[in-house]
Amino acid sequence: MSSVIKLRGKGVSRIINSKVILSPLSGVTDKIFRKLVRKWAPDSLLFTEMINATSLKNGYGTQKVQQIELEEGPIGVQIFDNRPFAVSEAAKLAEDSGAFLIDINMGCPVKKISKKGGGSALINDRLLAVELVKRVSKAVKIPVTVKTRLGWENKEENIEEFLISLQESGAAMITLHGRTRKEGFSGKSDWNMIGRIKKLLEIPLIANGDIKNPNDALNCFKVTNADGLMIGRGILGSPWKIGEIDYAIKELKGFKEPNIEEKLLLIIEHLDELTKEKGNHGLLLARKHISWTCKNFQGASNLRNKLVRAIDIKEVKALIKNTIKTLNNDQKILD
Ligand SMILES: Cc1cc2nc3c(=O)[nH]c(=O)nc-3n(C[C@H](O)[C@H](O)[C@H](O)COP(=O)(O)O)c2cc1C
């Protein structure tokens, strides 16, 4: 199996040296989190959180794409909005900041976004969706891609025809989450349907939904024959997971999952970076990451409860250092 994704839109030819992609995850995949993921995944395409086209023009959104060119490896910027001019302008700003590609969000089920015609609402406004891809592809030189779902209400909405029209409009790659908008996160991602759709497209199709570990990844490839995989919830608390899955796909041996001490030190590293950037607010932002990472070892739940209640970074560090002292040699870094 090849270990690269070849983007193949109109006039576009670019290679990503890994078949595993980090999902755009709102509230998670900021530049600090991406830096952690990158330690284990040098080749993968990583995404920003979804960014509203208008906010990219003012302070908040701009911060999210600033200095992407200084980050290692390819970074995709995901934009949500339904106004072709606004998305094109935002795409140009993201391109100037060093984005590897622009992804248009056509899958987000959140009401606040779909009510205004963005995200998954574009599945129902196919002419506008096609117009968006055409206009943004003209506005930038980098590839334009789409992330969407299997349908709005149900799977009988001829999503295949929709995806083919996006391909004809210039989309260089499509990511398909194997659920409808109505399903949200319920049920299972329909890899069989993704596999059927894969056969109809010429551009790369990325399978998404319920891929959490190397086993899932290899199974998903078998079922879908997709050109790549996108990992969302599997990365929460496990920033090494993209790298681990990439290792398995490339049939490399010897991936070393961080041991307990390394996971605890990762919490400190993440917290340090967040507070450097955001001051005390960094501690609040770190809490969800702490809860996701501090699990699956003896005493984890007790420690987690204390860590998320800690009032400052000093207390977090003291709690973690005291825990590390109690670990046995198998759980520690020995070199
Ligand atoms: C916390 C969270 C934030 C998300 N934010 C985005 C987003 O900004 N853009 C997007 O296209 N999808 C977003 N998603 C959806 C994921 O990218 C992905 O499609 C979905 O979680 C299914 O993949 P998974 O089973 O690997 O999690 C989000 C999902 C979660 C759980």
Report whether pLDDT(147) > 80. yes
Please tell me the residue having the least CA distance from ligand 1 atom 17.
23
DSSP-assigned letter for residue 24: P
Q: What is the pLDDT of residues 235-250, one digit of tens each?
A: 999 999 999 999 999 9
Average pLDDT of the chain is 94
pLDDT surpasses 80 at 234: yes
Q: Domains in the chain and their CATH numbers?
A: 5-249 (3.20.20.70), 260-331 (1.10.1200)
Distance 118 CA to ligand 1 centre (A): 15
Q: What percent of the chain shows pLDDT beyond 90?
A: 88
108 catalytic? Reply is: yes
When mean pLDDT is compared across 15-19, 33-37, 54-58, the lowest value belongs to 54-58
The answer to whether the CB of 103 falls within 8 A of the CB of 145 is yes
- With a cut of 70, say whether residue 159 has pLDDT above it: yes
d(Cα 7, Cα 210) in Å, to the nearest integer?
24
For residue 173, which of 16, 3, 33 has the smallest C-alpha distance?
16
One-letter amino acid of 297: F
Separation CA 70–CA 61 (nearest Å): 17
**In degrees to the nearest 10, what's the CA dihedral of 29, 34, 40, 46?**
70
Half-sphere exposure (Cβ direction) of 269: Cα atoms closer than 13 Å: 14
Looking at this protein, which amino acid is placed at residue 261? Answer: E
The pLDDT assigned to 335 comes to: 43
Q: What's the confidence (pLDDT) of residue 59?
A: 66
Give 296-305 contacts, CB < 8 A, sequence gap 24+.
Answer: 297/260, 297/331, 299/323, 299/326
For ligand 1, the distance from its centroid to the CA atom of residue 113, given in whole angstroms, is: 14
Q: What is the pLDDT of residue 172?
A: 96
Coil, strand or helix at 242: helix
Q: Ligand 1 pocket: which residues have CB below 6 Å?
A: 23-28, 49-50, 78, 105, 107-108, 147, 177, 208-211, 231-234
Instruction: Give residue 334's pLDDT band: very low, low, confident or very high (50, 70, 90).
Output: low
Q: Is the pLDDT of residue 332 over 80?
A: no
Nearest CA to ligand 1 atom 22: 209
CA–CA distance, 86 with 91 (Å, rounded to integer): 8
- List, for residues 38-97, the tens digit of each pLDDT value: 999 999 999 999 999 988 877 678 888 988 989 998 999 999 999 999 999 999 999 999
Which residue's entry shows tokens 């900021």?
A: 30
Judge whether 292 and 307 are in contact, CB under 8 Å: no
> Do the beta carbons of residue 227 and residue 206 sit within 8 Å?
yes
Of the candidates 108, 174, 193, 205, the residue annotated as catalytic is 108
Mean pLDDT of 130-153: 97
Distance from the alpha carbon of residue 25 to the mean position of ligand 1, in angstroms: 5
Q: What digits encode the pLDDT tens for the residues 161-212?
A: 999 999 999 999 999 999 999 999 999 999 999 999 999 999 999 999 999 9
Average pLDDT over residues 211-224: 98
